Amino acid sequence: MKAWLTLGLAILAEVIATSALKASNGFSQLLPSVVVIAGYGVAFFCLSLTLRQMPLGIAYAVWSGAGTALITLIGIAVYQQKLDLPGVLGIALIVAGVLVLNLFSKSSAH
């Protein structure tokens, strides 16, 4: 359970950092730039803690898949970015893959 909590924190920190990366405007804006650096630091620290209890491949698949899906939603909601049908299907497949790993894989740390 602790591994999933730290992985969730890693995902949240990475999503915050990536969102701030857009707002940093090429690191020309101080506050968003600080959020990027701190967010990625927290994300990788939490991911490293997760790897004490969870296989690397599973942790990274969940981290990157969930992060991709959440960043896509933020891009749509905050930055008014558009996603076409193939994009929606691709994100849905990523989410489905993460769910399969979590629900059915014996490799995952449950």
CB under 8 A, 24+ apart: contacts of 46-52: 46/6, 46/7, 46/9, 46/10, 46/13, 47/6, 47/7, 47/10, 49/6, 50/3, 50/6, 50/7, 50/10, 52/3
Tell me the domain boundaries of the chain: 2-104
70-107 pLDDT, tens digit each? 999 999 999 999 999 999 999 999 989 888 887 887 77
Judge whether 50 and 2 are in contact, CB under 8 Å: no
32-81 pLDDT, tens digit each? 999 999 999 999 999 999 999 999 988 998 999 999 999 999 999 999 99
User: Considering the entire predicted model, what is its pTM?
Assistant: 0.86
Of 38, 34, 39, 32, the C-alpha closest to 14 is 39
Q: What are the residues whose beta carbons fall under 8 Å from the beta carbon of 54, sequence distance 6 or more? A: 3, 7, 108, 109
C-alpha span between 51 and 47 (Å, rounded): 6
